[in-house]
Structure 1
């Protein structure tokens, strides 16, 4: 498979870690909030990087961008997180050029999700592109690539049943609660935080448990009230966290804090309590397990759900892969055309110079020379010549690298190699 270099100086890389090799604790060290992503964009731009996409979810943290060496991107990431380069390298993956492109397609279409067919990641890709654009860190390559991944994701949702049925981390959370807490409709449930998984869990709980004893607390009360209004929940101030936890039978933690916000000191030492920590980094301190009355379940344990719905989804993987292959093929054709364009344009300009020289020569030599007619004929010939070269370069059986080099040598063309980012 051919590699698609973006310039003679840099390549397109994907560097990151995910649930496959990195546990929640390690992923937490490398998680990025919006301010951290903004800093990454600023630092990358200052270092001369002109295209970068950052994605950070509970399951993965990844950078997609241009660099001479992947270590440049790794260092940019580690400088804005709690993890070290050594820790990153133990669990990381690095993809280059075509493989990096393929990886983003796989991630964005739910094939690489912790629960197969979970398409939450596509909104993260959209947000990541928005933040990159805000810092002038996008380019035609990244824009076209992200749009292609979004297009593939939409087609897979519409044309397959890869995401059919209620299987997600949020649904797995509710199933766990329903399976492990008897008489759930009579229990006190506390949702701490307004993270997306937490909100979805809350919505599923209301739908499946018929529970009217759900309370919501968030550091920012305004956010809590916005969520509570939709679901008709009770809202309490952050200052009331401890008494509310001590009243709860089930505690769902979904905050975006970088350090644990729930510890043993907040919990009633005798009342049975089930805690679901849906946060990355973990927001519940391990010391809660010192209490015999507490059961703690983390996101990764919930993500191991396997049921009939998930098994059925696997049947649609081949169809999804066909869609990805088709959309990716269109993207790579566009990419090749970007690669050829500078050579073809330079050839066209060279032929125009030759045309101008010949017209000037004959206009001085011939008294009845029709310059307008000569211009029309010459332009048509130039168009046909450049079209022939372009068609040759696009043929799959030709070697475009050698052909490009030969054209440049014959016509002595000077080419700007930064073809894909311009």
Structure 2
């Protein structure tokens, strides 16, 4: 793979960090909002990188792309986030070539998710790739790879039970509320922010509680109204946040802000308040715990809540892995063929040049030379010879780089394959 002519840089990397080694605070440092992602892509172009995309969710921030050295990608991430190279070295990972390809398949199919089988990330991968394509930072390799991962995700979803059962951060949040709060039917619930996890939590709450005690507030009121309309909920203006918190028994925070939006100064409480912070970076300042009666629960804690569903999902992992292997092999076959295609093309041109020289010689030498018949026979011979070489290069046991070099030497041809 090192010599694949799909980028001016020969090595494909996946660099980043996730919930596995980075806590919520550290993930918050490296998280990228839409503006930061756009700036990162612009910087990548200005620094000469030609193909990459970036994924940033509450559980992970990663860059997938071609580079001469992984530090080029690490620098992009650190330059456009609050994270430092020193932080990165402590908690991050770097994969290259086949390892990076396998890693992206595992991420996209929910095998590397904080809650096994959570497929939320595949839409992020798709959307991030689209943004890179718009910015002319997506080559044929990346497009084919992302499409293969999307295909694997669909098949895992449809052909296994990896994502069956209600196991997600949103479900865990609702479960926690049900198990912790007494007399829930008569409690006031305030949802601040309309992030995806917040919306899913809201949907789960609506299914199991009275609608009239759930209020939505978002900085952009129209977004809240859109969701509220779907569930027939109350929407209040952002300016009413302090008084709505004062009324609430449960506050669910799911904003996409880069800094805390809730702190102790906003809380003027006369009764206990349970706060669930479902945001990365954290959107609720730890200082709220200084106020008597406040309980603060972060999504990292909720993600640890497992149930029978999770155990059942684990049984589905081998089936998911088999699907990944099948689609990954199709991708690798395409990649191998694309790698040696320039050599086969150059070989065919060389043989055609030899043919033309020989036919020209025989035409002058032989009376009544049958040009058409000679063309037909020699073209068939050239086709058979190049097919033999192509089959050799396609074989899994072939040392492709050495074979390409050997073909080029013997036939004295040059191709664009990077060495």
Question: By the TM > 0.5 criterion, same fold?
Answer: yes
Q: Which moved more, 1:106-115 or 1:147-156?
A: 147-156
* Deviation at residue 209 of structure 1 after TM alignment: 2.3
Alignment partner of 1:162: what SS? coil
* Deviation at residue 362 of structure 1 after TM alignment: 2.4
* Deviation at residue 5 of structure 1 after TM alignment: 4.5
Alignment partner of 1:44: what SS? helix
**Partner Cα distance (2:50, 2:386) in 1:** 31
Determine the structure 1 residue equivalent to 2:88: 88
Cα-to-partner distance string for 1:214-259 (whole Å, 9 max, x where unaligned): 1111111111111111111111111111111111110011111111
Does structure 1 residue 22 correspond to structure 2 residue 22? yes
* Deviation at residue 4 of structure 1 after TM alignment: 5.0
Determine the structure 2 residue equivalent to 1:58: 58
Determine the structure 1 residue equivalent to 2:383: 383
**Contact 2:211/2:233, CA 8 A, preserved across alignment:** no
Determine the structure 2 residue equivalent to 1:359: 359
Cα-to-partner distance string for 1:179-233 (whole Å, 9 max, x where unaligned): 1111111111111111000000000001122342111111111111111111111
Alignment partner of 2:215: what SS? strand
**Partner Cα distance (1:200, 1:20) in 2:** 23
Q: Which moved more, 1:33-42 or 1:257-266?
A: 33-42
* Deviation at residue 361 of structure 1 after TM alignment: 2.3
**Partner Cα distance (1:195, 1:261) in 2:** 14
**Contact 2:170/2:198, CA 8 A, preserved across alignment:** yes
Q: Which moved more, 1:108-117 or 1:44-53?
A: 44-53
Determine the structure 2 residue equivalent to 1:67: 67
Q: Which moved more, 1:13-22 or 1:349-358?
A: 349-358
1:9-48 matches, within 5 Å, as 9-48=9-48
Q: Which moved more, 1:292-301 or 1:366-375?
A: 366-375
Determine the structure 2 residue equivalent to 1:405: 405
Cα-to-partner distance string for 1:144-193 (whole Å, 9 max, x where unaligned): 11111111111111111111100001000000111111111111111111
**Contact 1:6/1:12, CA 8 A, preserved across alignment:** no
Determine the structure 1 residue equivalent to 2:4: 6
Determine the structure 2 residue equivalent to 1:133: 133
**Contact 1:55/1:128, CA 8 A, preserved across alignment:** yes
**Partner Cα distance (1:135, 1:418) in 2:** 25
* Deviation at residue 41 of structure 1 after TM alignment: 1.4
Alignment partner of 1:103: what SS? helix
Off by >4 Å, runs of 4+ in structure 1: none
* Cα distance, 1:211–1:230 mapped onto 2, change above 3 Å: closer
Cα-to-partner distance string for 1:92-133 (whole Å, 9 max, x where unaligned): 000000000000000000000000000111111111111111
Alignment partner of 2:226: what SS? helix
Name structure 2 gaps, 5 residues minimum.
none
Cα-to-partner distance string for 1:28-68 (whole Å, 9 max, x where unaligned): 11111122111111111222222101111000000000000
**Contact 1:184/1:211, CA 8 A, preserved across alignment:** no
**Partner Cα distance (1:279, 1:387) in 2:** 56
**Partner Cα distance (1:60, 1:30) in 2:** 9
Alignment partner of 2:212: what SS? coil
* Cα distance, 1:41–1:418 mapped onto 2, change above 3 Å: farther
**Contact 2:191/2:202, CA 8 A, preserved across alignment:** yes
**Partner Cα distance (2:371, 2:316) in 1:** 64
Determine the structure 2 residue equivalent to 1:264: 264
**Contact 1:50/1:66, CA 8 A, preserved across alignment:** yes
Alignment partner of 1:315: what SS? helix
Alignment partner of 1:174: what SS? helix
1:3-402 matches, within 5 Å, as 5-7=3-5, 9-402=9-402
* Deviation at residue 86 of structure 1 after TM alignment: 1.2
**Partner Cα distance (1:397, 1:83) in 2:** 44
**Contact 2:9/2:66, CA 8 A, preserved across alignment:** no
**Partner Cα distance (1:315, 1:342) in 2:** 44
**Partner Cα distance (2:411, 2:9) in 1:** 24
TM-score, normalised to structure 1, is: 0.96
* Cα distance, 1:270–1:418 mapped onto 2, change above 3 Å: farther
**Contact 2:190/2:215, CA 8 A, preserved across alignment:** yes
Aligned length: 417
Alignment partner of 1:292: what SS? coil
* Deviation at residue 346 of structure 1 after TM alignment: 1.0
**Partner Cα distance (2:198, 2:409) in 1:** 61
**Partner Cα distance (2:32, 2:356) in 1:** 57
